[in-house]
Amino acid sequence: MASAAHVDYLLRLGDNALILGQRLSEWCGHGPVLEEDIALSNIALDLIGQARLLLAHAGSLMPVPQTEDDLAYLRDQFAFRNFTMLELPNSGLEKGQQQRDYAFTIARNFLFSVYAVEQWTALSTSSDVQLAAIAAKSLKEARYHVRHATDWMLRFGDGTDESHHRAQAALVALWPYANEFFSTDATEADTAAQGIGVTGASLRPGWQATVSSVIAQATLKEPPPSHFSSTGKLGRHSEHFGFLLAEMQSLARAHPGAQW
């Protein structure tokens, strides 16, 4: 019988993939160039595939088993466990901004996918056999996501004045939300002790080394550390999350039990 912490940990992994997958899907048909439209759609597809595996696994371990669809479409805000960074709108955080912001999207992919590589590498030896298998697979895909994101960070940073300025602004806006990746809480401590999970804190040095290196190569400036910590993984989400869920869930909720 899986512990509540074990299930909670799996939901965090699955929800990260689902919510970022949802945000990247919003670019489908709206990419700045065709190759990037395809790239983001493919990355979203990888993430949604990972979400399916993770949520199905989490659901199978619940006291009353849930399917991946139950979890994706029928949970309310407080039950989702993704990092707040991943639910932020593609238009960024500046007031009144309506247009999708490519630098913001890429910078977010950069910060998260570097973390994902560290995380999946560590989880490839999880004592949860199914999680270890999902991790080994997700790692291969995350590495391609990192390559795509870092390529663009370098092009933006070491590019034109405008691309440099936008990339820098995106980093500054996103940076405080990265703290949540590394804050340890009971769920992480618990599952790490059981050999199931890893603490975010243990992943920080690897993440920091890669991120600092890419930022420097991109001629960008690393934002100063902040004390802000978002709380999405605890089920306390930003004001953006309700809108995301409304769009993601409305069709399924309007037709409960419908099959394609």
Partner 1 sequence: MPIDQGERKARILALLDSVPDPEIPVISIRELGILRDVLFDGDAVEVIITPTYSGCPAMYAIEEDVLAALAAAGIDNARVRMVLSPVWTTDWMSVAAREKLRRYGIAPPGPVPRDEQGAQVVKMHFVKARAPVLPACPLCGSPNTELLSEFGSTSCKALYRCVSCREPFDYFKPY
The site for partner 1 (CB under 8 A) is made up of 35, 38-39, 41-43, 45-50, 52-53, 129-130, 132-134, 136-141, 143-144, 146-148, 150-151, 154-155, 210, 213-214, 217
Residue number, 152 or 176, with CB nearest to partner 1: 152
| Least spacing, CB of residue 212 vs partner 1, in Å | 13
* CB atoms near residue 212 (< 10 Å): 11
| Least spacing, CB of residue 99 vs partner 1, in Å | 23
| Least spacing, CB of residue 239 vs partner 1, in Å | 29
Residue number, 38 or 186, with CB nearest to partner 1: 38
CB within 8 A of 58, min separation 6: which ones?
7, 10, 11, 14, 66, 71
| Least spacing, CB of residue 29 vs partner 1, in Å | 15
Spatial contact of 231 and 84, defined as CB atoms under 8 Å apart: yes
Residue number, 11 or 53, with CB nearest to partner 1: 53
Residue number, 209 or 246, with CB nearest to partner 1: 209
Tokens found for residue 54: 């993770």
Tokens found for residue 74: 């029928």
Tokens found for residue 40: 């983001």
Spatial contact of 239 and 245, defined as CB atoms under 8 Å apart: no
